[in-house]
């Protein structure tokens, strides 16, 4: 039986020595912070052009995470590559020969990748917040205001959960291309389109991205958005259920199928 520390060290080595995963994490940080800063500056300059409802429900904290839509794409790619690279390269056979305990293999990978995603997610969320608030001028808020710290920490958790969900899906599908072919349209087309359709949005609001993103809001119904039937922590809880289901599904597939 492979020692837990040795398995964790092995997974850390795999991730840090694959340039695509490192660059993807770096992209998640840079793209999110840059886009959030640009949109914060734009909204500060055009604040008077917003509708009365949008001004009344203006959420400076949520605005500072405007770049999350691109940041989560990078996290999806990171989560998929952490798992899918081993299948595409054939290294999965060697990995499972070295660590035949499949639960130890999978959850060590999840632990290492999840810790990295959490670190990058937290750095990204705090940088996005402070830079966004600096650019919002008189419309800014502070970290000490009610529920702001919860939203900033929640943004980091959201990015982490996106990566973990993607890892679970990639483990089930055993293919980077197939996983990305499903996850990218799901998050960036299907979820967004259905959330704009009157009847379908009642279902779409329980999708992981729609539910999880509520943790980043301080003002309910921010910028005129519709009220959800759950609060910030309820939304994160729904996202956690999706993540747990994806990881459980990945484990069952890994356990029952050969490499």
Q: Give the side-chain half-sphere CA count within 13 A for 111.
A: 14
pLDDT digits (tens, 9 = 90+) for 211-253: 999 999 999 888 777 788 899 999 999 999 999 999 999 999 9
pLDDT value, residue 144 = 93
> The pTM is what?
0.92
The answer, yes or no, to whether residue 96 has pLDDT greater than 60, is yes
Find the domain containing 114 and state its range.
4-256
User: What is the tally of structural domains in the chain?
Assistant: 1
> Going by C-beta distance under 8 Å and a sequence separation of 6 or more, which residues neighbour residue 79?
113, 117, 162, 163, 164, 165, 166, 167, 169, 170
Number of other residues whose CB lies within 10 A of the CB of residue 252: 12
The answer, yes or no, to whether residue 2 has pLDDT greater than 70, is no
Instruction: Evaluate whether 102 touches 254 at the Cβ level (below 8 Å).
Output: yes
Instruction: Evaluate whether 79 touches 30 at the Cβ level (below 8 Å).
Output: no
pLDDT value, residue 61 = 95
Rounded distance, CA 171 to CA 101, Å?
A: 16
Its sign, for the CA torsion 134, 114, 235, 31, is positive
pLDDT digits (tens, 9 = 90+) for 97-152: 887 788 888 899 999 999 999 999 999 999 999 999 999 999 999 999 999 999 99
Q: How many residues does the chain have?
A: 259
- Count Cβ neighbours within 10 Å for each residue of 6-19 and write b for 16 or more, e otherwise: ebbebbbebbeebe
């Amino acid at each position: 039986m492979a020692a837990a520390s040795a398995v964790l060290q092995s997974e850390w080595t795999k991730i840090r020595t694959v340039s695509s995963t490192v660059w993807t994490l770096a992209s998640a940080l840079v793209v999110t912070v840059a886009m959030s800063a640009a949109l914060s500056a734009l909204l500060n300059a055009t604040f008077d052009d917003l509708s009365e409802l949008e001004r009344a429900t203006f959420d400076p904290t949520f605005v500072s995470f405007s770049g999350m839509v691109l940041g989560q794409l990078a996290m999806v790619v990171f989560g998929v590559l952490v798992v899918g690279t081993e299948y595409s390269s054939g290294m999965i056979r060697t990995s499972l020969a070295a660590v035949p305990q499949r639960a130890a293999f999978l959850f060590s990978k999840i632990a290492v990748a999840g810790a990295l995603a959490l670190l990058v997610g937290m750095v990204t969320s705090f940088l996005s917040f402070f830079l966004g608030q600096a650019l919002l001028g008189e419309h800014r808020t502070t970290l000490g205001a009610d529920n702001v710290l919860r939203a900033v920490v929640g943004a980091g958790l959201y990015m982490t959960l996106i990566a973990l969900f993607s890892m679970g899906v990639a483990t089930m599908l055993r293919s980077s291309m197939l996983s990305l072919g499903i996850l990218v349209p799901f998050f960036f087309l299907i979820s967004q389109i259905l959330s704009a359709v009157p009847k379908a949005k009642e279902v779409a609001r329980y999708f992981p991205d729609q539910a999880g993103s509520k943790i980043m809001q301080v003002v309910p119904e921010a910028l005129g958005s519709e009220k959800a039937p759950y609060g910030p922590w309820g939304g994160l809880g729904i996202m956690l259920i999706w993540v747990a289901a994806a990881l459980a599904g990945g484990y069952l597939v890994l356990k029952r199928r050969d490499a």
